[in-house]
């Protein structure tokens, strides 16, 4: 509503299912279950959730690394299905992976790692590409001496900078950041997040940040969607959602995040048990089996997102009824 | 705080390689006071895990250590393998980072736990099973009897870590070493496991040493903090003092790195970037 202009990436009703065969039976696992999402130039939307929430499958479905079962993805107004070859998508959307140790080819030198996407996607002369490589290195604050090294000879922070530079090499509009700092030490993490924020301002990039870490989200995202068992259960501006969480699951996530202060803090909501198997879902709310606020109707009717405060949507009729 | 259960004095460690000697631990000295939780904090390469492993004589073969490690007044350095075996588990137990890779994938969880109970406590098969069931229930594992018949791959990360904690507790150790016990777990699971560690330390009168890179966990759970960097102890203090008044620049940097990103959504600590982000996103409704 307050988002300016047309979205660069727009996801509607995205659903991704996997068929799992075990002991002769076929079962369907719905990893992403009807997700809507919009990304705008110069802004960051975060998707947070724990393992099994479907956040990584969502990212992979957008990139068509897995084929979504239903739903549409528009890149700058153009449906992904209109791209002739799958790899043409990657001119517009790039990804920074969680673990740069496994996402960089160990046999390539940094120069080759950065050159390859440009050779594939851009018609540029070798001299142009060499100039662009120097620009990219400067942008991610790496020294040119690094060009002849291989990933094994780099520190974790340097490797992730190379991963970021590689994603930016083809001048994409949208960058998907999949847990970009999860493999880094605390002090390096902050530096890389600041770097990502600066690159976004300079290049007007739209970021989709996939993370389990609310601290990272708070630091660089503008809007956030909280996922649980394949569904978005709460969404809105980051400061608003983290200050006034409306869904019990969001509250539980905030409560569980450790605080670097003596004595820590108090947990107000406690979920029971662990995330249930995605096969054994009841027809109602995905959280009902673990939620301390659950009522009888929660197990029978699936709540949809309702506006809780301006721009802030949550799928919980119980907290929605409570006066704030 | 009572006297130290473990005293590390002038611990040094050098990796001997063909390319030459690489010193990785320099004059490491600290105490683990009895009955509390002490955190050994540091980033990658700080030597925190090597220090913990050296206590149990589990350091990698290429590491040559010197100095003194005294457990309950008894010198551990130079102990032979039989001496360490008598110590491991029954006196000092250790829980590693990745629980599922610490368990044997081809044996049921119950079998592995019962073996430990029988070996260390000399129990009969039946008594061991009863003790294991009871201990599993104590760490909030539902349906312990059914779970005992399952294999490690049927356990989630959080449940597997609880199993490892049970394995450590079965030996009734006096000192519990935890090396990044919650890394790789989801935040809600991590919070549950940390609460369990705090409760067990108090109930069982354990002395616990938590090796971690996460100052958040330290704040939540620990009484004392030892900060390591590049193989040296750079600061040690009570947790209250450490968080309110850190003595070294390095500790301040670490705290700042954590606090930049630690925010409950109630207070805005504000880096430059965060401020602009918040202005952008503040909806009209709350203004």
List where CATH 3.40.50.300 sits in chain A: 9-89+173-185+205-321
pLDDT value of residue B2: 56
CB contact, 8 Å: A99 with chain B? no
Pairing of strands B92-95, A44-48: unpaired
Q: What number is the ipTM of this complex? A: 0.77
What mean pLDDT do residues A141-158 have? Answer: 91
Among A20, A28, A22, A26, smallest CA distance to A69 is for: A28
CA-nearest residue to A200 within chain B is B273
A242 contact B CB<8A: yes
Strands A44-48 and A206-211: parallel
In percent, the amount of chain A with pLDDT more than 70 equals: 98
Contact A199, A139 (CB under 8 A): yes
Distance from CA of A157 to the nearest CA of B (A): 12
Q: Give A 195-234 residues with CB within 8 A of chain B.
A: 197, 212-216, 218-223
Position of tokens 């509250």? A251
Closest chain B CA to residue A242: B265
Quick one: pLDDT at residue A196? 95
Residue B264 has pLDDT above 60, yes or no: no
B265–A185 CB contact, under 8 Å: no
Query: A277 or A224: which carries more pLDDT confidence?
Result: A224
Q: Hey, what are B287's tokens?
A: 């203004």
Q: Is B71 in contact with B28 (CB distance < 8 Å)?
A: no
Q: What is the full DSSP assignment across A62-97?
A: HTTSS--SEEEEEETTEEGGG-SSGGGGGGTEEEE-
Report helix, strand or coil for B214: coil
Q: Phi and psi at residue A306, in whole multiples of 5°?
A: -130, 150
Ranges of H-type helices in chain A: 55-62, 100-103, 110-121, 126-139, 156-168, 186-203, 214-220, 238-243, 248-256, 317-321
State yes or no: pLDDT of B262 exceeds 70.
no
B219:A2 CB<8 A: no
Reduced to 3 states (helix: H, G, I; strand: E, B; else coil), residue A321 is: helix
Is residue A177 within 8 A of residue A209, CB to CB? The reply is yes
- B285 chain-A contacts, CB cut-off 8 A: 309-311
Mark yes or no for CB contact A240/B266 under 8 Å.
no
**Nearest CB partner across the interface for A186, out of B187, B213, B243:** B213
- Chain A residue with minimal CA distance to B224? A262
pLDDT in tens, B127-183: 999 999 999 988 888 889 999 999 999 888 888 999 999 999 998 999 999 999 988
Q: What is the pLDDT of residue A280?
A: 67
Residue B93, strand partner residues: B176
Question: What percentage of chain B reaches a pLDDT higher than 70?
Answer: 90
* Predicted pLDDT at A324: 53
> CB–CB of A233/A225 below 8 Å?
no
* Mean pLDDT to the nearest integer, A24-45: 91
Partner B, chain A 51-70, Cβ-Cβ below 8 Å:
51
- Chain B nearest-CA residue for A262: B219
**Optimal mutation site among B216, B225, B255, B265, interface A, most CBs of chain A within 10 A:** B265
Residues of B in Cβ contact (< 8 Å) with A257: 187, 216, 262, 264
Report the chain B residue with the minimal C-alpha distance to residue A199: B273
Q: Which long-range contacts (CB under 8 A, 24 or more apart) does A310-313 make?
A: A310/A1, A310/B283, A310/B284, A310/B285, A310/B286, A311/A1, A311/A2, A311/A236, A311/A237, A311/A240, A311/B283, A311/B285, A312/A234, A312/A235, A312/A236, A312/A237, A312/A240, A312/A241, A312/A244, A312/A246, A312/B283, A313/A234, A313/A235, A313/A236
Asked if A164 contacts A196 with a C-beta cutoff of 8 angstroms, the reply is yes
CB B231 within 8 A of CB B26: yes
Task: Quote the tokens at residue B117.
Answer: 């109970």
Pick from B43, B157, B263: CB nearest A218: B263
A311 dihedral zone (left: phi>0; alpha: psi -120 to 50; beta): left
Contacts of A156 in chain B (CB under 8 A): 44
CA distance to partner chain B, nearest, from residue A116 (Å) = 31
Placement of tokens 């009703």 in the chain: A13
Cα(A185)–Cα(A233) distance, integer angstroms: 30
How many other C-beta atoms lie within 10 A of the C-beta of residue B50?
22
* Residue A286: per-residue pLDDT: 87
Give the minimum alpha-carbon distance from A264 to chain B in angstroms, rounded to a whole number.
Answer: 4
pLDDT tens for A69-107 read: 999 999 988 898 788 888 889 999 999 988 888 889 999
Q: How confident is the model at residue A234 (pLDDT cuts 50, 70, 90)?
A: very high
pLDDT reading at A124 higher than 80: yes
Q: Which band of pLDDT confidence, cut at 50, 70 and 90, is reported for residue B266? A: very low
Q: Average pLDDT in the B11-24 region?
A: 89
Q: Rounded to an integer, what distance in angstroms lies between the CA atom of residue B128 and that of residue B14? A: 42
CA–CA separation, A68 and A171 (whole Å): 26
- Which of B156, B261, B282 is opposite residue A219, by nearest beta carbon? B261
Per-position DSSP letters for B103-152, written without gaps between them: S-TTS-HHHHHHHHHHHHH---HHHHHHHHHHHHHHTT-SSHHHHHTS-G
Interface probe for A, chosen from B262, B284, B287 (most Cβ of A below 10 Å), is: B262
- Judge whether A195 and A160 are in contact, CB under 8 Å: no
Spatial separation of the C-alpha atoms in residues A164 and B79, rounded to whole Å:
49
Mean pLDDT across chain B: 86
Enclosing H/E stretch for A312: strand A312-314
CATH class of A9-89+173-185+205-321: alpha beta
Q: What is the rounded CA–CA span in Å between residue B263 and residue A243?
A: 10
Q: Does A152 touch chain B (CB under 8 A)?
A: no
Nearest to A239 among B189, B261, B282 (CB): B282
Strands (E), chain B: 4-17, 20-33, 37-41, 63-71, 74-75, 92-95, 175-179, 207-212, 224-229, 232-238
Q: How far away is chain A from the Cα of B136, in angstroms, using its nearest Cα? A: 15
Q: Of the ranges A22-26, A48-52, A245-249, which is most confident? A: A245-249
Q: How far is B193 from chain A (nearest CA, A)?
A: 11
Counting one residue from chain A and one from chain B, the pairs whose CB atoms sit within 8 A come to 161
Q: Which of A190, A194, A253 sits opposite B188 (nearest CB)?
A: A253
Kindly identify which residue of chain A lies nearest to residue B215, measuring between CA atoms. A260
- Structural fold of domain B1-91+173-260: Rossmann fold (3.40.50)
Quick one: tokens of B277? 């982000």
Compute and round to an integer the Cα radius of gyration of chain B: 21
Residues β-bridged to residue A73? A11
- Residue A78 contacts B, CB cutoff 8 Å: no
Percent of chain B clearing pLDDT 90 (strictly above): 61
Kindly write down the DSSP assignment for every residue of A22-54, as one continuous string. Answer: ETTEEEEEEEEEEEEEEE-TT-EEEEE--TTSS
Query: With contacts defined as CB-CB under 8 Å, which chain B residues touch A253?
Result: 187-188
pLDDT of residue A323: 58
Which of A216, A222, A253 is the closest to B261 by Cβ?
A216
Which pair of structure tokens corresponds to residue B71? 């457990």
Which residues fall within 8 angstroms of residue A265, CB to CB, at 6 or more apart? A255, A259, B220, B264
Residues in chain A with CB shorter than 8 Å from the CB of B244 are 262
- On average, the pLDDT of chain A sits at 90
Chain B residue numbers with beta carbons less than 8 Å from the beta carbon of A222 are 277, 280-281
């Amino acid at each position: 509503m307050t988002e300016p202009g047309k979205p660069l990436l727009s996801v509607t009703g995205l659903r991704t299912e996997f068929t799992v065969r075990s002991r002769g039976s076929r079962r369907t696992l719905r990893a992403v279950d009807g997700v809507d999402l919009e990304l705008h130039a110069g802004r960051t939307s975060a998707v947070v959730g724990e393992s099994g929430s479907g956040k990584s499958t969502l990212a992979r479905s957008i990139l068509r690394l897995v084929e979504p079962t239903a739903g549409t993805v528009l890149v700058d107004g153009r449906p992904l299905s209109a791209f002739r070859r799958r790899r043409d998508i990657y001119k517009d959307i790039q990804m920074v992976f969680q673990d740069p140790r496994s996402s960089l080819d160990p046999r390539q030198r940094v120069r080759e790692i950065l050159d390859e996407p440009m050779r594939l996607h851009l018609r540029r002369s070798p001299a142009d590409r060499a100039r662009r490589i120097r620009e990219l290195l400067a942008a991610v604050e790496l020294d040119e001496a690094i060009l002849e090294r291989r990933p094994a000879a780099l520190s974790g922070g340097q490797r992730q900078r190379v991963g970021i530079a590689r994603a930016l090499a083809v001048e994409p509009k949208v960058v998907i950041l999949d847990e970009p700092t999860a493999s880094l030490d605390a002090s390096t993490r902050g530096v890389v997040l600041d770097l990502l924020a600066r690159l976004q301002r300079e290049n007007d990039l739209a970021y989709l940040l996939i993370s389990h870490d609310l601290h990272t989200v708070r630091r660089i995202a503008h809007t956030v969607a909280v996922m649980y068992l394949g569904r978005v259960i709460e969404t809105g501006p980051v400061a608003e959602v983290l200050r006034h969480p409306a869904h019990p699951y969001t509250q539980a996530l905030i409560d569980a995040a450790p605080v670097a202060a003596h004595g820590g803090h108090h947990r107000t909501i406690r979920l029971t048990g662990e995330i249930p198997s995605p096969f054994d879902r009841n027809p109602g709310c995905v959280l009902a089996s673990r939620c301390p606020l659950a009522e009888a109707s929660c197990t029978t009717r699936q709540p949809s997102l309702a506006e809780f405060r301006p721009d802030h949507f949550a799928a919980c009729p119980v907290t929605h009824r409570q006066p704030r | 705080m009572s006297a130290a259960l473990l005293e590390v004095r002038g611990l040094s460690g050098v990796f001997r390689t063909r390319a030459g000697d690489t010193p990785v631990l320099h004059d490491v000295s600290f105490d683990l006071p009895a009955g509390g939780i002490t955190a050994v904090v540091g980033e990658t390469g700080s030597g925190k895990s090597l220090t913990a492993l050296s206590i149990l004589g589990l350091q990698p073969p290429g590491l040559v250590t010197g100095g003194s490690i005294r457990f309950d007044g008894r010198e551990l350095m130079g102990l032979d393998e039989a001496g360490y075996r008598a110590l491991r588990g029954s006196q000092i137990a250790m829980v590693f980072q990745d629980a599922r890779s610490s368990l044997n994938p081809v044996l049921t969880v119950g079998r592995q736990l019962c073996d430990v109970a029988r070996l260390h406590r000399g129990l009969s098969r039946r008594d061991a099973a009863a003790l294991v069931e009871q201990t599993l229930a104590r760490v909030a594992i539902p349906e312990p009897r059914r779970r005992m018949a399952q294999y490690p791959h049927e356990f989630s990360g959080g449940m597997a870590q609880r199993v490892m904690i049970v394995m450590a507790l079965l030996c009734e150790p006096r000192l519990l070493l935890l090396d990044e016990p919650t890394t790789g777990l989801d935040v809600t699971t991590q919070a549950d496991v940390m609460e369990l560690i705090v409760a067990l330390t108090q109930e069982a009168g354990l002395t616990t040493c938590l090796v971690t890179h996460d100052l958040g966990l330290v704040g939540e759970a620990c009484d004392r903090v030892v900060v390591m960097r590049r193989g040296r102890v750079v600061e040690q203090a009570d947790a209250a003092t450490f968080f309110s008044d850190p003595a070294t620049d390095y500790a301040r940097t670490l705290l700042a790195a954590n606090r930049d990103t630690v925010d409950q959504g109630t207070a805005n600590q504000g880096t430059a970037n965060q401020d602009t982000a918040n202005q952008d996103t503040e909806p009209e409704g709350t203004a």
